[in-house]
Amino acid sequence: MTVQIWTYIIVGITFALYIGIAIWSRAGSTKEFYVAGGGVSPLANGMATAADWMSAASFISMAGLISFMGYDGTVYLMGWTGGYVLLALLLAPYLRKFGKFTVPDFIGDRYYSDTARTVAVICALIVSFTYVAGQMRGVGVVFSRFLEVDINTGVIIGMVIVLFYAVLGGMKGITYTQVAQYCVLIFAFMVPAIFISIQMTGNPIPQIGMGGTLADGSGTYLLDKLNGLSTELGFAEYTSGTKSMIDVFAITLALMVGTAGLPHVIVRFFTVKKVKDARKSAGLALLFIAILYTTAPAIAVFARTNLIETVSNEEYTSMPEWFSKWEETGLLVFDDKNADGKIQYVADKATNELTIDNDIMVLANPEIADLPNWVIALLAAGGLAAALSTAAGLLLVISSSISHDLIKKMIKPDISEKGELWAARISATVAVVIAGYFGINPPGFVAAVVALAFGLAAASFFPAIILGIFYKKMNKEGAVSGMIVGLLFMLFYMLKFKFGIFDGGKAAVDGLKADWWFGISPEGFGTIAMLVNFAVALTVNAFTKEPPEHVQEIVENIRIPSGAGEAQDH
């Protein structure tokens, strides 16, 4: 059977499974819609959190980034994994004990202010829409290649599927759908990696195969071979870094604290019964995430090696079928500059004839390695599972921010539960349409867009949440001013150096690295904006009055472990 038929079968089965779960677990109350009724088991929540967190950026784009950036791409591995640990240890249990549905709800109550809640809602919406744009593009990339439709049509199909189970099931439907999506995405990610690892190194464990010797008996290490291939074409050695240490540090920290401030991940810890279960599910999620994250660098190495060997200095007419199929999507472009019919794939932009979108590397990898068609189709289903699971979580954050934090808490406090549920569903529908627009008109490739979302979360949410938990004298004036300044500072830098808004578009063309402040890229600037947020918040706090006594008592209370003091009562 062809790849397309296999894709229709496997994707059709997985979509039927997701929709079936959504119908079975549809939400009947706002508590079920927002936090799945608060009764999810730690194991299910761990798998759902892993699926929610491992987005199209993790599945499709991260290994693609590492494939082209080499050693420099490891900042994404370190930042996203380290951030998850930070979230699990520093924030999740305390927010769970505070007992609020959403991050704006926590910030609104902790800072006893509707202004703080409004600023938090705006931050949540900006971060979530930036992030969901990357997911919808990921969906479009998968559909455009494997169902052979254009990217825009792919995005629209993805919108319809997400809309169905996110709007119908809410968090309850999303949670159990994400458990299924985790199983699909991790199986789909690992099977091709194991196949190619055996093919290239004879070792079935990709993480070991990446650092092992080639299966041809030459005794050459795979990474040595890739370094040689890269330098022959004028690229830097794959295992050497070109980024400055300060930029590596800034990006890693921005991704870490951005992860810890991501509203769609934090809300997952409200879906379990007890604080202890929140800790357990955080640990299990880290284990489930580690399976994919330790495999991504191996896939990057396998894909890069196979790609260079397949295309470099080869006749265009002798290219296998996968090449022309990806050309049709516009994500792979061959421009025969010297008209010799051969593909010149080199570092020098003046003579390079091949342009490859980072986002295709993981998806094209099994095709380049000539694996069976069902493996290629399985990977497509995994990519869709990763993108759709995160998109659904983000859409829930957007809808709950509008229906719960704006309408219920501020605009119409007397709204009925049924009315609030309808408001949540309508706002989710509107959010899907806007997300689809961003998916069709994306501001960059998937991982870059997502990295900017993390920077925005770091610049806005993280200081307000940390100070809200660990500094009881932090007041509303300080928190609100810090969030506003941090967010605006990050947006300004992003627009200036990523999109060239203040430079006549120049930044969008050449990156203007020489002009970066402190040598820090837009992806890493969330770290600076976060520090500015902390500085502004603490300074304003020092010159304004302390929070009310009852708020300070709440903060004291959420830091006391559950069950503390019970022994003395018996």
Residue-wise pLDDT for 222-238, tens only, equals: 999 999 888 888 888 88
Q: What percent of the chain has pLDDT over 90?
A: 8
In a domain, 567, yes or no: no
In this predicted structure, the answer to whether residue 152 has a pLDDT above a threshold of 90 is no
Residues 6+ apart with CB under 8 A from 318: none
In a domain, 362, yes or no: yes
Structure tokens at 325: 């199929």
The pLDDT score that the predictor gives to residue 555 is 83
CA distance 70 to 240: 7
pLDDT band at 295 (very low <50, low <70, confident <90, very high): very high
Average pLDDT over the chain, rounded to whole? Answer: 80
Q: What is the pLDDT of residues 543-568, one digit of tens each?
A: 998 888 888 888 888 776 554 444 34
In a domain, 470, yes or no: yes
In a domain, 399, yes or no: yes
**Which DSSP letter does residue 60 get?**
I
Specify the higher pLDDT residue, 134 or 533.
533
In a domain, 311, yes or no: yes
CA distance 212 to 487: 45
CA distance 425 to 419: 10
Domain with 420 in it: 3-560
In a domain, 566, yes or no: no
Amino acid at 186: I
Report which of 359, 346, 239 is spatially closest to residue 301, judged by C-alpha positions: 239
Identify the three-state secondary structure at position 447: helix
pLDDT band at 504 (very low <50, low <70, confident <90, very high): low
CATH classification of the domain holding 323: 1.20.1730.10
Q: What is the pLDDT of residues 424-444, one digit of tens each?
A: 778 878 888 887 887 777 655
Q: Strands, E, within 387-432: which ranges? A: none
Residues 6+ apart with CB under 8 A from 509: 500
In a domain, 565, yes or no: no
Phi, psi of 211 (to 5 degrees): -95, 5
In this predicted structure, the answer to whether residue 44 has a pLDDT above a threshold of 70 is yes
| pTM as predicted | 0.80
The pLDDT score that the predictor gives to residue 564 is 45
Q: What is the pLDDT of residues 263-284, one digit of tens each?
A: 667 777 777 777 777 778 888 8
Structure tokens at 252: 């890693």
In a domain, 321, yes or no: yes
Number of domains in the chain: 1
Report which of 20, 36, 554 is spatially closest to residue 281, judged by C-alpha positions: 36
